[in-house]
Chains A and B, each alone.
Chain A
């Protein structure tokens, strides 16, 4: 079964750090681009970051640039999101989503999400 499963969410104080992980299975992880998308409570979807299959291309939303770092380990079939200097407005469910191959970044496989709460 093709799936991605997020982990690492939790409660963190503003200014703190958190590292999200996404474990992929059922497909050849190394040939797919990968994405992080978040959804604040009661709000719409917000694209956060994307990474190409070989990590050659990395993109960030302005709202997280300089604070978040996306990375992947193709040997471990895993995607990561290092989140530093967290703010209250980063509170959201974070979804890992598989992208396409080549330089295509639609999202065809989604995890159930992991909740991040930045609050004192």
Chain B
């Protein structure tokens, strides 16, 4: 089983700042099958990035993903008020298709 570790656990930033979230896998994620999701309280998750770097439909270009192998990054170039949420990474390269524990981005 691939274990995903996300860091930091919480990121406290101000609107307009840049956010860099890390997702590290315990073994290589095949085909870079790594996705990022955003979840706000009381809502279902929303797909942001798939295939490590491809933006999902309708996702603003301030969200970008990078990485391969075991190290992946989600970058939010300039935080908007609606971006404060919890972010999860998920690998779907091999079953079980595990999620990371999440990074909470909150307002400083």
Interface residues in chain A, defined as those with a beta carbon under 8 Å from any beta carbon in chain B: 35, 37, 44-47, 50, 59-62, 95, 100, 104-108, 110-113
B45, A107: Cβ atoms under 8 Å? yes
Check A47/B33 contact, CB under 8 A, given A110-B44, A113-B44: no
B33 in contact with A44 (CB, 8 Å): no
A45-B92 contact in complex given A59-B97, A106-B35, A108-B56, C-beta closer than 8 Å: no
Report the minimum CB–CB distance from B4 to chain A (whole Å): 10
Whether the Cβ atoms of B102 and A47 lie closer than 8 Å is no
- Residues of chain B within 8 A (CB-CB) of A108 are 47, 50, 56-57
The proximity string for B residues 45-70 relative to A, scoring 1 for CB distances below 8 Å and 0 otherwise, is 11100110000110000000000000
Residues of B within 8 A of A60 (CB): 96
A-B pairs with beta carbons under 8 A, tally: 63
A106 in contact with B96 (CB, 8 Å): no
A98 CB, min distance to chain B CBs, angstroms: 10
Kindly state the separation between the CA atoms of A89 and B7 in the bound complex, as whole angstroms. 26
How distant is B97 from chain A, measured CB to nearest CB, in Å? 5
Residue contact A47 to B45, C-beta cutoff 8 Å: no
Give CA–CA (A59, B91) in the complex, Å. 14
Q: Are the CB atoms of A112 and B99 closer together than 8 Å?
A: no
In the assembled complex, which residues on chain B have CB atoms less than 8 Å from the CB atom of A62?
1, 96
